[in-house]
Structure 1
Amino acid sequence: MELTEVSCSEIVEAIQDKLPVLFFVFSRGRTEVLAQDLGRDWDFLNAREKKEVGGKIKEAEAEQPGAFSGPGWRSLRRLLLQGIAYHHAGLLPPVKYLVENLYASRLLWVVFCTETFAAGVNFPAASAVFDSTRKWDGHDFRILQNREFFQMAGRAGRRGFDRIGHAFIRVDSRFPEQTGFFDDKAIEPVSGRLVISPNTVLSLLRYKTDEEIDRFLNENFKMYQLKKRQGLLKEEIEALTGRISEIEAGLCSENGTLTCPVERARARKQLKRLRWKNKNREKDLLQKQIALATPKKCFNSKKCMALSERLREVQTYYQTLRQEYAAITQQVESVFTEYREVRDLLEKLGYVKGREFFARGIFALELHVQEILVTEIAFSGLLEDSEPADAAAILAGIEFIPGKNTRTDILDLPALQQTYLIRHELLKMGVPERFCIWSNLPGSLAYAWYNGATFTELMEMSSLQPGDIFSIFRREIDLLRQIERAAAGNTALIERAQAIRGQLDRDEIALSF
């Protein structure tokens, strides 16, 4: 069913006998806007249900008061009492858990959610509605893949309640092609992905023999897929080679030269095209070539022409396959090339030499995120020599990639400047940018939080949503645990990491569901 440029209220009215519904939206902010719009027109709960929802809300607020005091909570609370909600990664875990709990208790009738909600196997619905089937993938807007669509549409239909599930798409008249093309028989295959990180290389060198490393690089799922496709292409190329030879055997010896009537006719058409394009130099050259060639009489020009056209088609396809084969072969080789490049980089930086591990290599072996950058920060002495709050500010920016509109209060700390210089030097030495991901933007949040700021104050300092701030600190706390393991023997660094972790892991950040 196609619903063209209608409001959420009109959609719900049209499908009100097919509720509850998961309304998939590909923007956090838009989930909230659409929920507020629907809340102005609809209230799905009776007095008994409102009382039950109110009781669950009070329980949640009493258990984790800090999680339910941020901006927007009052509006969401009102919506929950109407049987409406929104759910996205920008919410704190206790808030998301409350929404999920209410939905599982059949007290929510419309939930506006991002696609991550579709991963919850315990959250089926009678219907799934798509606000759009175009999404931003980090680079550009694109149409949903078949598997993405069916992952979300598959939430529709509750076992024991619905004979069938229903999926609806709201169609934007500017993009009429955005529906009617999903095919459950054309689900995109799962692709293998092998990431050669510094930790991967260090672990292989530390714990595997040369034969085991070779097997690891050769027999992973990504390599299996590449080699399988490479083999199929090779077989098809060989078959086409034979087919080309067969066709060529049926052609006369003049084929492909300007003495052949077929080729001369084709050349004269090319002359006309060159005249129209004012390519006089090319036209004159071709004209001379036609004049110099002595035409031969062809007694079977129709057959010759058909074979000639068929040969061109097969040769074109042959070249396409050759190009794909070359690209696949390059990908196969790139796995080994990337491994050697990272291994050589680690040797250049003094982490290892062959199978011999130095202090930096032993330290980085225990890290699983931005191993080189974190190791260099630690070995610079910054984490031990700086004030604990400064060290917390440094580590908050590890692997943080700010969005286009991300804003935080800027913190002018010498420790952040020194971290920037360390990163800059690593880049100058040839360390790939993907191994040096760091931003100073979360620094002010970590500095303030370490020094006792409230979560509400953090939100006032930044454009980040509560869930994003929560994720920054949970990542930092996990990184501090890794540093504690990596710093074996360095009591001062272990104690510093433990102290920072203990100060960060409090109140809203300590919440886990």
Structure 2
Amino acid sequence: MSDPDRFAARYAHPLDDFQDAGITALHEGRSVLVAAPTGAGKTVVGEYGVWRALDRGRRCFYTTPIKALSNQKYGDLCREHGEGRVGLLTGDHSINGDAPVVVMTTEVLRNMLYERSRALDGLDTVVLDEVHYLADRERGAVWEETIVQLAADVQLACLSATVSNAEEFGAWLAATRDGCDVVISERRPVPLAHHYAVNDRIEPIFKAGKQGGQGRKGAKAAREAAAAEARGGVPNPDLVMLERRAQQRGRRGRGPGGGTKLLPPRRSDLVASLRERRWLPAIVFVFSRAGCDGAVGQLVGDGVRLTSKEEREEIRAIVDDRAADLERADLDVLDFGPWREALAHGIASHHAGMVPLFRETVEELFVRGLVKVCFATETLALGINMPARTVVIERLEKWDGQQHVLLSPGQFTQLTGRAGRRGLDERGHAVVLHQRDVDFTTVASLVGRRVEPLISRFQPSYNMAVNLLRRHDRAGAEQLLEASFAQWQARNRVVDDEARIERNREALEGYAENLVSDYGDFPDYWGLRRELSRLEKAGAKARREARQRAITEALADLAPGEVVRPPGRRDDTPVAVVRVIWTKSGTPLAEAVTTDRKLVRLGPRELDGPPERVGRVPLPHAGGPRQPAYRKQVANALRQVETAPRVGSPGDAGNGDTLPETDAEEAERQARIAELRESIGEHPVHHDPARSEIEVWAHRYDELERDTAKIERRVARHTHSLVDTFRRIVGVLGDHGYLDGPQEAPRPTDDGLALAALHLEADLLLAECLRAGLLTDLDPAELAAVASVFVHETRMKDPPPVASPTARVDEVLDAIDERWQRLSEHEQAAGLPVTREPDPGFVEVVHRWARGAHLDAALDGSELTPGDFVRGTKRVADLLRQLRDADTGLASPSQAAHRAIVRGVVAADL
């Protein structure tokens, strides 16, 4: 019996064709990329890689993108092969690391490769689970670093969700690994039916008979609906007509009393309907943490009870066991009691704002079938194994940081992919609730198999550069960068551009034949015209910039209580300034109250010129501008202000067509413009009767030349973009003393080796601060607080000012800011992205926690949820581990700081 047959015999059911194909590739010594929908069973191919390595007496690494998946997979493999043969390596855990099979995060393997760890000896296979994380903006580069540096004789089993360019990704893997089979499956093992819930109805999105429960008629209708969907059938005409009638009657002014208003069902009614249809357990996606928690409260308040007495007892026992090590005071802050009781009734939420211990408990209970309804944000759709019978999507629009945008078909497919449990369900169900702002046909258009392409986010970093140059000369390091998927995609993109450039150059030669005048030198004449146009545009731009500067300076100078006229607004009647705020980019915005009690925001985009001061009003001592009573009092005072007749604004010099005569640059520009106009008028070609026809060709020539130059710049940028960035990085590192030696083979200095051990976005900034000794002479709480500025990123758009917990911390933060300023100036000069500014938003909270405060005291006055706090503290703890393990002279203080913060709810997840 062959190896694949022996492996397949371990399963109670025959393997799918795509699983056989993936296993065959590994058996025959090739790497493989398996792209299949969520729940299709692609991990079977990875498990064959593990089984085969063990069978051959060699080693296998099983990598995952996140710690939770590593823990989950470690448990699965221990049950399959025994704890003695399986190890776990994450940032938090090190269990049996010398075992023949080791589960780890991808970052751990990347670091092994840089260190040339002996653990790589005898490595047979690496399973890269969820390899589509390569597209992750923050962490995707790790996958490419790993793939291009693994020894050629190591086989890869790459497991991915379906992506539209799997063939392209597979072709790169084949070129990088000396061959790679691409196995694609678009078939879901459990078919999925899509439904639309409106008022008290749940109807199929594609019409196929009346939808019922799980009986024979209901099953037949579901099969017909799925068939209609697969054929690309039209949206359910009954729902289209229902929506159309509601819109028509709404325009006629008929209210809900007529029964025509369409609404999403109440949550408790929806859950009751799902329960009646036997469609539980269900995951309900709500794109808001507060919305998830509020939904749980609503169901509990409505008396929804989904568990039996025996299930409730089992749930409470599991929850109490998981929370046994937490202090009662911290549990009170986490609202443990209400959370426990909601779980006992089969209702839960799942989002990043929860502490990890709570999230993992929900996951365990859901997998056991004890949680029947889970309200979750979209983060649940990534990686964690929580399949459901039904997925419900409450809204199809989500906030992208700037505005509410419609889900893409790929995002919709990813969310609904959780529906349908293999071996448990004949069919999965996806239910979209009625959308007030999205018409039904748009909802139907999202249903299908369209998925997003896999786009590389790979970019060299300072840390990557010094690590590559530890092991390679410059040419070797650049060769590895050229082998990345990012560069592969870039080269593929320029093929069409290069052909277009060639076509454009041929067309330009033809255009040039028409740029001839019998009256004189047309290129000379057109050169004068070009220069005149450039100067006139430059003058207009300078005037706009001067006007913007004047507006910005005037806004920054406003004080609360001042009354101004805002030029440029449709209504330029006076308004009363109540406060001036600043955007992250440093732009001042004035918030003001109008005479009709509205709160308006005045910024450079809303004004044609600087606001004109015309008076002052007293502001209320209590309340704020968001409160109607506050605005009413301000508006009443504003109406009493006596304003002088409008005679001009202090900024008028900056918002017209002229600038002060003292502006020497503008005066010189105007003189040259006058000279050019005279030369043009005197040029012989200016009097050619055919000039207008020749100018048509000249304009075409200029436009095509500009377009061609733009494409050429794009080609140049893409052709060797990563290597160019790498060379700039090497230049900055050399200037700062992190690299030394000959240009063709620079080597890291001692400071460079310390930088090589720092894996974070602000790696060079931290290295600069360490070299300057800024983190020495700090007690453990102060060190943890200062370390947080390098890894924390405030979620708030306009965070409030932060107070330093001690004078020493304040002094250090000022010094860090100074070094960031110098570094950012150097990066700008080198043409590199600027390192993110240090963020002190977590300093005070982590300092309190490190000093031993209870959770409620640590979070006092902050906007952080407990989940955000735990996640942020773990990032600080990870950085402290790096400082402990790197040669920075901070091993003992970092260890003490690490012990101070890894306790309570933070330690519960480690």
Q: TM-score range by the shorter chain?
A: 0.7 to 0.9
Q: Flag the structure with higher strand content.
A: 2
Q: Flag the structure with higher helix content.
A: 1
Q: Distance in 2 between matches of 1:383 and 1:86?
A: 40
Matching residue within 274, 280, 283 for 1:22: 283
The answer for the alignment partner of 1:500 in structure 2 is 897
8 Å Cα contact 2:463-2:755 kept in structure 1: yes
| Residue 420 of structure 1 pairs with residue 682 of structure 2 | no
8 Å Cα contact 2:880-2:894 kept in structure 1: yes
Q: Distance in 2 between matches of 1:428 and 1:383?
A: 18
Alignment of 1:225-264 (within 5 A): 225-235=489-499
Alignment of 1:94-173 (within 5 A): 94-120=357-383, 122-173=385-436
Alignment of 1:200-211 (within 5 A): 200-211=464-475
For residues 40 and 438 of structure 1, do their structure 2 counterparts lie closer, same or farther at Cα, with a shift above 3 Å needed?
Answer: same
The answer for the alignment partner of 1:344 in structure 2 is 731
CA-to-aligned-CA distance 1:256-314 (integer Å, 9 cap, x gap): xxxxxxxxxxxxxxxxxxxxxxxxxxxxxxxxx9x967xxxxxxxxxxxxxxxxxxxxx
Q: Distance in 2 between matches of 1:52 and 1:318?
A: 74
Q: Distance in 2 between matches of 1:157 and 1:317?
A: 54
8 Å Cα contact 1:388-1:496 kept in structure 2: yes
Q: Distance in 2 between matches of 1:462 and 1:408?
A: 11
Alignment of 1:378-389 (within 5 A): 378-389=770-781
The answer for the alignment partner of 2:757 in structure 1 is 366
Higher relative contact order (CA 8 A, sep 6+): 1
8 Å Cα contact 1:408-1:444 kept in structure 2: no
Deviation at 1:455, TM superposition (A): 2.1
Aligned residues: 458
Q: Distance in 2 between matches of 1:218 and 1:484?
A: 34
8 Å Cα contact 1:396-1:476 kept in structure 2: yes
CA-to-aligned-CA distance 1:424-483 (integer Å, 9 cap, x gap): 333234255752442222111222122111223223342211111111221112111211
8 Å Cα contact 1:19-1:125 kept in structure 2: yes
Secondary structure at the counterpart of residue 150 of structure 1: helix
Matching residue within 443, 448, 460 for 2:843: 443
Matching residue within 866, 874, 881 for 1:481: 881
For residues 424 and 233 of structure 1, do their structure 2 counterparts lie closer, same or farther at Cα, with a shift above 3 Å needed?
Answer: same
For residues 320 and 125 of structure 1, do their structure 2 counterparts lie closer, same or farther at Cα, with a shift above 3 Å needed?
Answer: farther
| Residue 2 of structure 1 pairs with residue 261 of structure 2 | no
8 Å Cα contact 2:791-2:875 kept in structure 1: no
Deviation at 1:201, TM superposition (A): 1.3
Q: Which amino acid in 2 is paired with 1:366?
A: A
Q: Which amino acid in 1 is paired with 2:900?
A: Q
Q: Distance in 2 between matches of 1:184 and 1:384?
A: 57
Q: Distance in 1 between matches of 2:294 and 2:708?
A: 49
The answer for the alignment partner of 2:623 in structure 1 is none
8 Å Cα contact 1:373-1:423 kept in structure 2: no
Q: Which amino acid in 1 is paired with 2:885?
A: R
CA-to-aligned-CA distance 1:72-93 (integer Å, 9 cap, x gap): 3332222112211001111112
8 Å Cα contact 1:133-1:178 kept in structure 2: no
Q: Distance in 1 between matches of 2:801 and 2:364?
A: 33
| Residue 331 of structure 1 pairs with residue 718 of structure 2 | yes
Secondary structure at the counterpart of residue 776 of structure 2: helix
User: Kindly, what percent of the aligned residue pairs are identical?
Assistant: 25
Q: Distance in 1 between matches of 2:494 and 2:340?
A: 56
Q: Distance in 2 between matches of 1:381 and 1:121?
A: 42
Matching residue within 778, 782, 800 for 1:390: 782
Q: Distance in 2 between matches of 1:408 and 1:65?
A: 31
Q: Distance in 2 between matches of 1:55 and 1:498?
A: 35
Secondary structure at the counterpart of residue 159 of structure 1: coil
For residues 129 and 323 of structure 1, do their structure 2 counterparts lie closer, same or farther at Cα, with a shift above 3 Å needed?
Answer: farther
For residues 53 and 409 of structure 1, do their structure 2 counterparts lie closer, same or farther at Cα, with a shift above 3 Å needed?
Answer: farther
Q: Distance in 1 between matches of 2:874 and 2:326?
A: 17
With normalisation by structure 2, the TM-score equals 0.46
8 Å Cα contact 2:791-2:876 kept in structure 1: no
Alignment of 1:178-327 (within 5 A): 179-182=443-446, 184-235=448-499, 326-327=713-714
Deviation at 1:106, TM superposition (A): 0.8
The answer for the alignment partner of 1:511 in structure 2 is 908
Matching residue within 445, 454, 459 for 2:859: 459
For residues 192 and 444 of structure 1, do their structure 2 counterparts lie closer, same or farther at Cα, with a shift above 3 Å needed?
Answer: same
Secondary structure at the counterpart of residue 431 of structure 2: strand
Q: Which amino acid in 2 is paired with 1:428?
A: R
Secondary structure at the counterpart of residue 89 of structure 1: coil
Q: Distance in 2 between matches of 1:391 and 1:487?
A: 17
Secondary structure at the counterpart of residue 422 of structure 2: coil
Q: Distance in 2 between matches of 1:363 and 1:324?
A: 41
RMSD: 3.7
Q: Which amino acid in 1 is paired with 2:857?
A: E
8 Å Cα contact 2:820-2:837 kept in structure 1: no
Secondary structure at the counterpart of residue 45 of structure 1: coil
Deviation at 1:225, TM superposition (A): 1.0
Secondary structure at the counterpart of residue 324 of structure 2: helix
Deviation at 1:20, TM superposition (A): 1.2
For residues 38 and 394 of structure 1, do their structure 2 counterparts lie closer, same or farther at Cα, with a shift above 3 Å needed?
Answer: same
Q: Distance in 2 between matches of 1:368 and 1:477?
A: 13
For residues 409 and 466 of structure 1, do their structure 2 counterparts lie closer, same or farther at Cα, with a shift above 3 Å needed?
Answer: farther
Secondary structure at the counterpart of residue 859 of structure 2: helix
Secondary structure at the counterpart of residue 62 of structure 1: coil
8 Å Cα contact 1:410-1:441 kept in structure 2: no
Secondary structure at the counterpart of residue 435 of structure 1: coil
Deviation at 1:119, TM superposition (A): 2.5
For residues 234 and 14 of structure 1, do their structure 2 counterparts lie closer, same or farther at Cα, with a shift above 3 Å needed?
Answer: farther
8 Å Cα contact 1:35-1:85 kept in structure 2: yes
CA-to-aligned-CA distance 1:349-385 (integer Å, 9 cap, x gap): 2222341433322211111112122112222323222
For residues 127 and 324 of structure 1, do their structure 2 counterparts lie closer, same or farther at Cα, with a shift above 3 Å needed?
Answer: farther
Q: Distance in 1 between matches of 2:734 and 2:343?
A: 57
Deviation at 1:321, TM superposition (A): 9.4
Matching residue within 254, 266, 270 for 1:11: 270
Q: Distance in 2 between matches of 1:402 and 1:339?
A: 29
The answer for the alignment partner of 2:297 in structure 1 is 36
8 Å Cα contact 1:64-1:94 kept in structure 2: no
Deviation at 1:121, TM superposition (A): 5.2
| Residue 53 of structure 1 pairs with residue 284 of structure 2 | no
Secondary structure at the counterpart of residue 180 of structure 1: helix
Deviation at 1:21, TM superposition (A): 0.9
8 Å Cα contact 1:408-1:442 kept in structure 2: no
Secondary structure at the counterpart of residue 458 of structure 2: coil
8 Å Cα contact 1:20-1:125 kept in structure 2: yes
Unaligned runs of 5+ in 1: 255-288, 294-315
For residues 151 and 335 of structure 1, do their structure 2 counterparts lie closer, same or farther at Cα, with a shift above 3 Å needed?
Answer: same
Q: Which amino acid in 2 is paired with 1:466?
A: P
8 Å Cα contact 1:102-1:108 kept in structure 2: yes
Deviation at 1:183, TM superposition (A): 5.4
